[in-house]
Amino acid sequence: MVFQFKIRSWLAGCSMLAMTATGAFAEVVYNRGNSADPESLDPHKTSTTYEANILRDLFMGLMVQDAKAEVQPGAAESYTVSADGKTWTFKLREGALWSDGQPVTADDFVFSWRRLVDPATASEYAYMLAPVVNAEDITAGKMKPDQLAVKAIGPGTFEVTLKAPTPYFLEMLTHQATYPVSKASIDKLGADFVKPGNLVSNGAFVLKEFVPNDHIKLARNDKFYDAANVRIDTVNFIPTEDRSTAVKRFEAGEIDSNDDLPTEQLADLRAKFGDQIRIGPYLGTYYYAFKTDKKPWDNVKLRAAVSQAIDRDYLAEKVWQNTMIPAYSFVPPGIAGYGMRTTDYAGKSQLDREDEARKVLAELGYGPDKPLKMEIRFNTSENHKNTAVAIQEQLKPLGIDVTLVNTDTKTHYGLLEQRGDFDIARAGWIADYKDPENFLALCKTGTGNNYALYSNKDYDDLMAKAAAAATPGDRMKALSDAEAIGVARDHCVVPLLYYSYHNLVSNKLRGWEDNVMDVHPTRFLSKE
């Protein structure tokens, strides 16, 4: 009796688990594991992929990514580009509504984009609008937000003027930073507009609950233009920080998918879950950077020698259990139209590479009497440590004396950003949008994330040439040539591994299409 009563009160009190467990409601509930909670649900204050997963369901930018991460019209029904490629005119979807029933207008976009670049917003992703005329000056406080080159030509037409033709502009418009927010809602509620019950959005779902570290509940938005085709009624984003727990919760049916898994258990997990384990290339690169303005690392030959002595196959297979792919270029595969430029030793066997490295080291005077000393710095993570230890072992036979320094993430990146002293340091880059420029900009002179402090005029010129190129083909060619100089020849970064996504996806979920951006909007999914 007592037990029954407790069960009943649990059912009444507990929303999501009870619903899935009993099936008492006809609604379709998707419990979606997400490695971390969002920092913010304000599209203009976000930066991580965890937020992107949620905001993609809540909001809709001018353009959207479909189930395969291809760019499709979103809040804009169509667009036209001027002959010089600089003026873009977007025709907004007719009859599109916010979740509070108000129409989505061009004024909302003008307001939102000004808000994004406004220094008072302090958006980490303000640079997503850097191609727009005056955007950078506004963020730097040199101009006023209303000087941003965007305007509403009537309620349904939104016009943007760019500094130069920007081929990846449409890709950028799928990024959460460029999403619109409701002007009326922010005017009324201020910073509280993001709270559950307040948040007005224009995507396939609306925010119902947000309990930090527990769940974020979204419900289908009836005002969404394509609501009839949205098959999931409720999505619960469940933070799954502990990957082992996530696997157990997946096994128990408490979550239907998760965006990470304990890679060290991969063989067992494959045996247990079969094709519910989804692994494939993801647009990101795991790399090391030499401090190129410091002796002896300013020597290109030395950098190349050390790089080729690193056995990437071993790292991918043994350290990362094949959840990473050996990398010989900075720009990962998977970007249409881009000719990859790998290092010249990419095609050689590891033994040949080591022989070559030995020869160069001897030429440069390193040997048993004068060992090359190198300190690897990395941020805390079991896998980062294992990678560094493996590299230490691989370089030892060549007479390279490697020491390891492990610091927490903030200390690590704090040192790199402040241009502190180091020999070689670990870093990683995940693409914000599908374009080589997003990676290669990191090797331009003076870029914030250019931890190597690499500076080469030819490289910078080629990047400038790409930015000004008349055709997409010319542009990709210039970018490819830049990579050949900066990465393949000069090792402005030492690419080690390409990232891959590793998802757990229940057989009950339909419509999950694997793609290099690892983007899976809930509106295209269904659940049996």
Partner 1 sequence: MLRYVLRRLLTAIPTLFVIVTISFFLMRAAPGGPFNQEKGLNPVIKANLERVFHLDQPLWKQYLLYLNNLIHGDFGPSYNLPDFTVAELFADSLPISIQLGGSALVLALLLGGILGIIAALHQNKPADYAVIATATAGSTVPTFVIAPLFQLFFALTLKWFPVGGWGDGALVNKVGPVLTLMLPQLAIVARLMRGSMIESLRSHHIRTARALGLSDYSVVIRHALRGALLPIISYAGPAAAALLTGSIIVETIFSIPGVGRYFVEGALNRDYTLVMGTVVVIAVFTIVFNLIVDILYAVVDPRVRYD
Determine the Cα–Cα distance for residues 306 and 361; give it in Å rounded to an integer: 9
Contact status: 41 vs partner 1 (CB under 8 A): yes
From 22-30, 116-124, 335-343, 476-484, span contacting partner 1 (CB under 8 A): 116-124
Minimum CB separation of residue 369 from partner 1 in Å reads 36
Contact status: 381 vs partner 1 (CB under 8 A): no
Contact status: 51 vs partner 1 (CB under 8 A): no
Contact status: 268 vs partner 1 (CB under 8 A): no
Contact status: 272 vs partner 1 (CB under 8 A): no
Determine the Cα–Cα distance for residues 295 and 468; give it in Å rounded to an integer: 35
Contact status: 287 vs partner 1 (CB under 8 A): no
Is cis: bond before 436, omega within 30 of 0? no
Number of other CB atoms surrounding residue 268 within 10 Å: 11
Minimum CB separation of residue 518 from partner 1 in Å reads 16
Contact status: 265 vs partner 1 (CB under 8 A): no
Contact status: 210 vs partner 1 (CB under 8 A): yes
Number of residues in the chain: 528
Looking at 95, 119, 155, 397, which residue binds partner 1 (CB under 8 A)?
119
From 271-279, 445-453, 482-490, 498-506, span contacting partner 1 (CB under 8 A): 445-453
Minimum CB separation of residue 138 from partner 1 in Å reads 10
DSSP 267-278: HHHHHHHGGGEE
Minimum CB separation of residue 411 from partner 1 in Å reads 4
Contact status: 164 vs partner 1 (CB under 8 A): no
Taking residues 382 to 421 in sequence order and writing x for each that binds partner 1 by CB under 8 A, - otherwise, the string is -------------------------xxxxxxxxxxx----
Looking at 63, 204, 340, 427, which residue binds partner 1 (CB under 8 A)?
427
Contact status: 472 vs partner 1 (CB under 8 A): no
Contact status: 375 vs partner 1 (CB under 8 A): no
Determine the Cα–Cα distance for residues 195 and 197; give it in Å rounded to an integer: 6
Evaluate whether 66 touches 524 at the Cβ level (below 8 Å).
yes
From 100-108, 114-122, 272-280, 512-520, span contacting partner 1 (CB under 8 A): 114-122
Contact status: 237 vs partner 1 (CB under 8 A): no
Q: What does the angle CA 327 – CA 343 – CA 417 come to, to the nearest 5 degrees?
A: 65
Q: What does the angle CA 32 – CA 38 – CA 39 come to, to the nearest 5 degrees?
A: 175
Minimum CB separation of residue 195 from partner 1 in Å reads 7
Residue 434: closest CA among 167, 73, 135: 167
DSSP 145-201: GGGSSEEESSTTEEEEEBSS--TTHHHHTTSGGG----HHHHHHHGGGGGSTTT---
Residue 453: closest CA among 463, 441, 444: 444
Contact status: 241 vs partner 1 (CB under 8 A): yes
Determine the Cα–Cα distance for residues 322 and 316; give it in Å rounded to an integer: 5
Number of residues in contact with partner 1, rule: CB under 8 A? 67
Evaluate whether 156 touches 105 at the Cβ level (below 8 Å).
yes
Minimum CB separation of residue 426 from partner 1 in Å reads 10
Record the tokens describing residue 469, joined without a space.
């190129």
Where on the chain is the footprint of partner 1 (CB under 8 A)?
A: 6, 9-10, 13-18, 37, 39-42, 45, 47, 119-124, 126-127, 136, 139-141, 194-195, 210-215, 238-242, 244-245, 248-249, 251-252, 254, 379, 407-417, 427-430, 448-449, 451
